[in-house]
Structure 1
């Protein structure tokens, strides 16, 4: 009978250094279609949401953050 040995190597996932993080926002008030398109300017996007709340009273948002990730082998 043959014996197989599997070696396990530790890996880690992290943000790719050439990638950028983006944020998308969407007002979830039932009658509102306000959104912020994907942007790397997170502060501006969040500021826009605050302004939207001040103008409309809508305070709930769906946020999606995205970045490019890479898995690397640890020594």
Structure 2
């Protein structure tokens, strides 16, 4: 940090200066680490044992019908097709949910 002014008066015995935006900086305290951060790369991958869940939701005004969780994509899609045939509703929200493992790259 650049020294942009004289030391602040009326402070503790160690050197306190102002930074560029005028904040008091305690020079002695800034030399002592308070936190140590360790940064590491990670990777995220599909977790097959968690399976995949498929759902379809009718978003027609005040309908709220849904397929419920399905293990097969075709089951959710077939529900949406049947619902559309019965009601004439033609807009659906599809949700696919899976599980993932995050591991640190060595």
**TM score, norm. by length of structure 1:** 0.76
Is 1:39 aligned with 2:70? yes
The structure with the largest alpha-carbon Rg is 2
CA offset digits 1:14-63 (Å, max 9, x no partner): 21121111022111111323211111111111121122222222111122
- Using CA pairs under 8 Å that are at least 6 residues apart, name the structure with larger relative contact order, 1 or 2: 1
Name stretches of at least 5 consecutive residues in structure 2 with no aligned partner.
1-30
Alignment of 1:9-28 (within 5 A): 9-28=40-59
**Aligned equivalent of 1:55, options 69, 86, 90:** 86
Structure 1 residue ranges (4+ consecutive) displaced by more than 3 angstroms after TM superposition: 1-8
RMSD: 2.2
Question: What TM-score does the superposition give when structure 2 sets the normalisation length?
Answer: 0.57
Q: Which runs of 5+ in 1 are unaligned?
A: none
